[in-house]
Structure 1
């Protein structure tokens, strides 16, 4: 691991004394659970004596208070080196009884060593990054040229969504021209999707998956809104592909939300049943994450996304967008509002869950269509967001029930655990009823329409 971002020396400060910047502390903290997941903290931890490497270790240890990392750490003056050859010699001198070690040091020594161990190692090693190698031989002396295999590579910006946001593509500046604004919006969404992929594959921070899914679905929703207003050759086929990509994330996102909620609000289950359910959900999560990673790493995926980008920039799309006007957008928006109000009026406390799900989809379509017109007043958008929140919470409860049903139907699970989960599943009808009443109490959207 390379130390996290440090301050530049000033005054009488030596290089050895350089402390971490605030950003560096956030970087180090973000990598704690990565190191834990990679089992990098289960052996000896060797740290350079420089202030910035010591503080990197301190931030990691601070995130894992239940671990006795202090008893495993060794501060070694020999690791305060920028020479890859010297670092390689240090690694080769490790005792063979050490099954794994974590080294926190400096560039260019770390990067030179990495490229020596495996030529497929990245061409750069940003601050706070971690490289995971497995030795090819049975001895540390085998850690010479091509003596190891790269098993993993992760930067703090791939492990933490807040850190990623600093480097994320910036939204386009406001443009009064409708066609240019929508094209810029679609291009920005595309850039965000591609930038988020590495964090989705890393699978450390679930917010990457959420934002990836949001940007995919918003791209599709904007495209559908455009298609509703004007004809665009080939757009239907493109939107179908975006829909399929978004659907591939559905189960994984639902599991993430379920697991997060179980941590925040412990469910009404005994510890054994709670543990059994979480283990089952984690197994489902791993399975679906692996399947999603296979899709994202497939050449066909990159080709498909690049085709979407070329389509956005095509003359056909440009001509279609040039026909859009605030008036035409408003006409379609009013029609959708009227349809929403009809669907809302048709609901009752006895309506099947699908009726509320369809209402939620309708609200989202109105929201994305309204986004095409910057003149839509904020009170109307706030009302849409409020309805999305209510219906989203309802959707989450239904999703939770579906996963509990699946857990209960699994023949390998303990009958007692299954019974407790069935009872919990049934108890979720009460908060669902509360949300149903709130939705039914909503006034017609036309009454608050722009």
Structure 2
């Protein structure tokens, strides 16, 4: 680990990075700086509230999403400098990954299982016992998540990021557009490549979902450098695609996790209806995702012309 991240301190309320003194309109680089800084501040605020207030799954989601927005884009932004921020990026990834299982269990307990039992009028033997065990597992995971959160403060990486911004010679708007165009082009190629390999399995689905998020976050970060109408079209289609992929992922994860909370004799038989439902709905969501992808590919690649 780089020396600038060796000394960790418990973060206090994070304040926005100071504005750069520059006359005239805000540069494209400053827009990027402000956006990334905002993500980091929101993640720090979510962490602070999780450690000080009763556990709230929405706060954990905010922590993870804001960190993911940074980790998905920071490496590309760092190409504007000789310092690749590798240590900061690696640390933030560890922060995000430390609480992943907790999020999946929350979705099973609060969304997937209730939809099956209530809205779908599904049946599950010993429902109360399963719900009780699931609640206990949630509590254990919540405690574990808080333990992990205490290990991963954000004050030092935020300071490292802001120092990087401060010492960097601000790139021109043209340079930012060139980098942005190259990044978006690569992200879109990755998405199409992973879509071609989709085989109905959870691993391939996860990779396509990850590629979709990275493309969406990159387009969001650089949106001010390109025509608004075009970027909004892409973001709308990507949000739709991401929603279907997310649902498919949640149902596949539920099918796996439910086996960890339903115990006793004939467990497989007890879960048969639920497993059948999650498999069917995951397939349906995957089919809708492919339809969304087809619509996405019909859009014009606006960044190719706008970057020149």
**TM norm structure 2:** 0.77
Shift of 1:223: 1.0
Would you say 1:352 and 2:201 are equivalent positions?
yes
Shift of 1:338: 2.5
Instruction: Indicate conservation of the 8 Å contact 1:232/1:316, yes or no.
Output: no
Instruction: Indicate conservation of the 8 Å contact 1:341/1:444, yes or no.
Output: no
| Equivalent residues in 2 for 1:311-350, closer than 5 Å | 311-315=160-164, 318-319=167-168, 322=171, 324-347=175-198, 350=199
Partner of residue 246 from structure 2, selected from 389, 392, 397 = 392
What are structure 1's unaligned runs of at least 5 residues? 1-166
Instruction: Indicate conservation of the 8 Å contact 1:172/1:184, yes or no.
Output: no
Relative to structure 1, the CA distance from residue 311 to residue 242 in structure 2 (aligned partners, 3 Å threshold; closer, same or farther) is same
What are structure 2's unaligned runs of at least 5 residues? 1-12, 20-24, 303-308
Instruction: Indicate conservation of the 8 Å contact 2:46/2:63, yes or no.
Output: yes
1:44-85 per-residue CA deviation (whole Å, 9 max, x = no partner) reads xxxxxxxxxxxxxxxxxxxxxxxxxxxxxxxxxxxxxxxxxx
Instruction: Indicate conservation of the 8 Å contact 1:249/1:292, yes or no.
Output: yes
Partner Cα distance (1:420, 1:277) in 2: 10
Instruction: Indicate conservation of the 8 Å contact 2:57/2:106, yes or no.
Output: yes
Shift of 1:331: 2.1
Q: Which residue of 1 aligns with 2:56?
A: 205
1:96-115 per-residue CA deviation (whole Å, 9 max, x = no partner) reads xxxxxxxxxxxxxxxxxxxx
Partner Cα distance (1:418, 1:207) in 2: 32
Relative to structure 1, the CA distance from residue 196 to residue 316 in structure 2 (aligned partners, 3 Å threshold; closer, same or farther) is closer
1:116-137 per-residue CA deviation (whole Å, 9 max, x = no partner) reads xxxxxxxxxxxxxxxxxxxxxx
| Equivalent residues in 2 for 1:22-421, closer than 5 Å | 176-201=26-51, 202-227=53-78, 229-230=79-80, 232-233=82-83, 235-261=85-111, 262-266=113-117, 268-270=122-124, 273-298=126-151, 301-302=152-153, 305-315=154-164, 318-319=167-168, 322=171, 324-347=175-198, 350-373=199-222, 374=224, 375=226, 376=228, 377-408=231-262, 413-421=263-271
Deviates more, 1:203-212 or 1:312-321: 312-321
Structure with greater contact order relative to length (CA < 8 Å, sep ≥ 6):
2
Shift of 1:395: 0.8
Shift of 1:216: 1.5
- Report the 3-state secondary structure (helix = DSSP H, G, I; strand = E; otherwise coil) of the residue aligned with 1:447: coil
Partner Cα distance (1:257, 1:191) in 2: 25
- Report the 3-state secondary structure (helix = DSSP H, G, I; strand = E; otherwise coil) of the residue aligned with 2:271: helix
> How many residues were matched structurally?
271
Shift of 1:358: 0.7
Partner Cα distance (2:233, 2:14) in 1: 29
Look at both structures and tell me which one has the larger radius of gyration over its CA atoms.
1
Relative to structure 1, the CA distance from residue 168 to residue 223 in structure 2 (aligned partners, 3 Å threshold; closer, same or farther) is closer
Higher helix share: 2
- Report the 3-state secondary structure (helix = DSSP H, G, I; strand = E; otherwise coil) of the residue aligned with 2:270: helix
Instruction: Indicate conservation of the 8 Å contact 2:130/2:261, yes or no.
Output: yes
Shift of 1:316: 6.3
Deviates more, 1:242-251 or 1:185-194: 185-194
Shift of 1:446: 4.3
Partner Cα distance (2:166, 2:243) in 1: 33
**TM norm structure 1:** 0.54
RMSD: 3.0
- Report the 3-state secondary structure (helix = DSSP H, G, I; strand = E; otherwise coil) of the residue aligned with 1:252: helix
Relative to structure 1, the CA distance from residue 444 to residue 222 in structure 2 (aligned partners, 3 Å threshold; closer, same or farther) is same
Relative to structure 1, the CA distance from residue 357 to residue 171 in structure 2 (aligned partners, 3 Å threshold; closer, same or farther) is farther
Partner Cα distance (2:208, 2:97) in 1: 19
Instruction: Indicate conservation of the 8 Å contact 2:35/2:221, yes or no.
Output: no
Q: Which residue of 1 aligns with 2:7?
A: none
- Report the 3-state secondary structure (helix = DSSP H, G, I; strand = E; otherwise coil) of the residue aligned with 1:290: helix
